[in-house]
Structures are given as structure tokens and as C-alpha cells.
């Protein structure tokens, strides 16, 4: 994949994670994630499109009015991409910040490794 395709995929990913309507999320999930999508963050590990969809729904329900926005350019090489983001309401859009590392396969995201700034620290 070239960088423009990866950037477009990353934009769809962030828009998806801000979408509160499950009927709108479901076809986008199928478009951008492989069927066996694997998601890991500091607190959860889930696999499969339905589980990712449920996770997004729960996250947005717990954080009404919050949206994801990209911070800086997407970095990519080989089958990997790195995206920095912020998550928050309009008044404080950077309430939570972090990074996603994607493993790409066949033009889709196959794995997501999320780092949330301040959520963990190396010992």
C-alpha cells in the first residue's frame, strides 16, 4: 500500500471510532478491518469485527460527545503504520492522547496495538 492509501485508511479508522451509529459503523468495519481483526490496548484484547464494534459502542457510550482526531502525519513502512491521535469533547479535544500501530494485510487493518499516553509506564 502506498502512503496515500494508508492515510485514507487511517482517516476512516478514526472516523469509525467516533461514529455513534452502529448501522453506519458496521459496513465501515468490514471495509477497513480484516475479518480476524485483533485489537490490543493497555486494558483489553479483543478479536473479530463484532467485538471491535461492541467495544467502540461501549467506549462512546461511556464518553458522550468525545471524538477521535489525528495528530500529525501517518508514518508507514512495509506492512506497518503508526498514527497519533487525541480523544475528547470539543472543549478539550486532547483529553486523552495516544498512538495506534497497525499491521496491514490485503489493504486492510489486521491488527491494532494502541498506546494511551500515561496509561502505562515501563519499569
Question: For residue 123, is pLDDT > 60?
Answer: no
User: In total, how many domains does the chain have?
Assistant: 1
Pick from 67, 58, 51, 66: nearest CA to 112: 51
pLDDT in the model for residue 122: 61
Torsion angle of the four alpha carbons 49, 52, 117, 9, in this order, in degrees rounded to the nearest 10: 40
Residue 60 maps to a domain: yes
Q: What is the mean pLDDT of residues 90-111?
A: 97
Residue 122 maps to a domain: no
Q: What is the mean pLDDT of residues 71-88?
A: 97
Residue 42 maps to a domain: yes
Residue 123 maps to a domain: no
* Domain that residue 75 falls in: 3-116
Rg of the Cα trace of the chain? Answer: 14
Can you list the alpha helix ranges (DSSP code H) found in the chain? 3-16, 22-32, 49-62
Set of cell numbers at residue 86: 487525541
Percent of the chain having pLDDT more than 70?
A: 98
Residue 11 maps to a domain: yes
In the chain the first and final C-alpha atoms are separated, in Å, by: 36
Residue 38 maps to a domain: yes
Residue 72 maps to a domain: yes
Residue 82 maps to a domain: yes
Amino acid at each position: 500500500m502506498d502512503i496515500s492509501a494508508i492515510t485514507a485508511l487511517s482517516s476512516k479508522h478514526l472516523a469509525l471510532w467516533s461514529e455513534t451509529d452502529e448501522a453506519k459503523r458496521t459496513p465501515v468495519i468490514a471495509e477497513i478491518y480484516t475479518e480476524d481483526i485483533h485489537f490490543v490496548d493497555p486494558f483489553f484484547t479483543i478479536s473479530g469485527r463484532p467485538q471491535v464494534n461492541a467495544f467502540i459502542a461501549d467506549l462512546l457510550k461511556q464518553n458522550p460527545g468525545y471524538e477521535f482526531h489525528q495528530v500529525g502525519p501517518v508514518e508507514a513502512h512495509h506492512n506497518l503504520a503508526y498514527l497519533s491521535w487525541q480523544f475528547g469533547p470539543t472543549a478539550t479535544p486532547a483529553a486523552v492522547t495516544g498512538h495506534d500501530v497497525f499491521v496491514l494485510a490485503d489493504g486492510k487493518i489486521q491488527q491494532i496495538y494502541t498506546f494511551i499516553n500515561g496509561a502505562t509506564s515501563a519499569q
